[in-house]
Amino acid sequence: MPPESTVPAVAVAGLHKSYGAVPALQGVSFTVPRGGVFAYLGPNGAGKTTTINVLCGLLRPDSGRVAVCGLEVSREPVKVKARIGVVPDESNLYPELSCRRNLDYLGELYGLPRRVRRARGAELLELFALADRAEKPFRALSRGLKRRLVLAAALVHSPEVLFLDEPTIGLDVPSARALRQLIRRINREGTTVFLTTHNLAEAEDLADRVCILIQGRVVEVGAPMEIRSRVDRGTYLKLGLSGEVTARELLSSCPAVKQAQRQNGFWRLEVEALHEALAQALAFAQARQLLVNEVGVERPTLEEAFLAILQKDQSAEVSPR
């Protein structure tokens, strides 16, 4: 048996699930290494929630193998549930119970002894800045505070893997930011995070590995940078110079620059090899005794990459085969 640390947090192979005649997942396979943040992305109806439900033991797959922390979910659902925490897309704690009692009750269901769960509850209320609202009923909290308590509730038993389904949905900017900081902190402390979100900037910000699912099929898996680099859109160098030059001068002095465009007082250069183009542009400025007052690199964002992948998939579907 492999040591615990080498067993992937989640391993999915050939997962199929249909609702009647409608296929939801068609041979989904991916692996989530331990300790990272894995973003599971896809448009509405792609099968993200179905996957999470299968991983959490709420739904039986038609076929395929699903293991969490090395345990087969269909064979040992109770053991799997004891090792995972889940933050669903809805804030579904007990509205009539206080924040403290909600955490205490869930601690009881995870089998924590009274003293441990009391201490853990107090620690989480403190960590999530809810200590002063500990005795307030869950229903009396604002949306942002409810999301915080739901996240705290998912951590009450210190899970090895945390599933987050749209964790910041419906939150204002400061609340979403605070929640992202908490997610980072939880991950730093060793919990593997499995995240689904429609917020691509959030996925790019948090995740070290991304999986893109379209119509129940995995179309891309890799680090966000890898996925961005697979998109055909070029890399752009933004350059601000203290004096006037022409596009022709720039293009002739910098062979690594494919195109040069003037935009809002800056040059926007489409480049082939970034390092080479940057060195050539700086040498060009030095030769002309111009000051470089702005340098920036524009790469396709994860959102642009996602849209490009989506478009490619749709056009492949409509074109005759």
Considering the complex, state which of residue 55 and residue 241 has its C-beta at the smaller distance from other proteins: 55
What number of chain residues touch other proteins (CB under 8 A)? 28
**Applying CB under 8 A, which part among 73-81, 217-225, 245-253, 284-292 lies near other proteins?**
73-81
- Cβ of residue 76: shortest distance to other proteins, in angstroms? 10
* H-only helix segments in 128-230: 143-154, 173-188, 200-206, 224-229
Site for other proteins, residues 118 to 157, rule: CB under 8 A: 153
- Cβ of residue 100: shortest distance to other proteins, in angstroms? 13
| Nearest one of 42, 58, 91, 55 to 196, comparing CA atoms | 42
- Cβ of residue 107: shortest distance to other proteins, in angstroms? 9
Contact 238, 294 (CB under 8 A): yes
Give the whole-angstrom CA distance, residue 186 versus residue 193: 8
- Cβ of residue 43: shortest distance to other proteins, in angstroms? 23
Q: What is the DSSP letter of 223?
A: -
Residues in the chain: 321
Give the whole-angstrom CA distance, residue 117 versus residue 106: 9
Q: What is the DSSP letter of 130?
A: -
Considering the complex, state which of residue 117 and residue 133 has its C-beta at the smaller distance from other proteins: 117
- Terminal Cα-to-Cα distance of the chain (whole angstroms): 46
Sign of the alpha-carbon dihedral angle for 82, 83, 89, 95: positive
**Applying CB under 8 A, which part among 41-49, 75-83, 247-255, 287-295 lies near other proteins?**
75-83
**Backbone phi and psi for residue 246, each to the nearest 5 degrees, phi listed first:** -105, 165
Give the whole-angstrom CA distance, residue 290 versus residue 241: 6
Here's the x/- map for other proteins, 83-122, by CB under 8 A: it reads as ---x-x-x-xxxxxx---x---xx-xxxxxx---------
Contact between 59 and other proteins per CB under 8 A: yes
Among 58, 127, 251, 295, binds other proteins (CB under 8 A): 58
- Cβ of residue 106: shortest distance to other proteins, in angstroms? 7
Task: Tell the burial category of 12 from Cβ atoms under 10 Å away from its Cβ (0-12, 13-18, 19+).
Answer: buried
Contact between 82 and other proteins per CB under 8 A: yes
Considering the complex, state which of residue 101 and residue 180 has its C-beta at the smaller distance from other proteins: 101
Contact between 266 and other proteins per CB under 8 A: no
- Cβ of residue 96: shortest distance to other proteins, in angstroms? 5
**Applying CB under 8 A, which part among 81-89, 186-194, 207-215, 257-265 lies near other proteins?**
81-89
Considering the complex, state which of residue 34 and residue 101 has its C-beta at the smaller distance from other proteins: 101
What are the Cα distances from residue 264, in Å, to 239, 240, 284? Answer: 11, 10, 21
Contact 197, 190 (CB under 8 A): no
- Cβ of residue 34: shortest distance to other proteins, in angstroms? 21
Considering the complex, state which of residue 48 and residue 209 has its C-beta at the smaller distance from other proteins: 48
Binding site for other proteins (CB under 8 A): 53, 56, 58-60, 78-79, 81-82, 86, 88, 90, 92-97, 101, 105-106, 108-113, 153
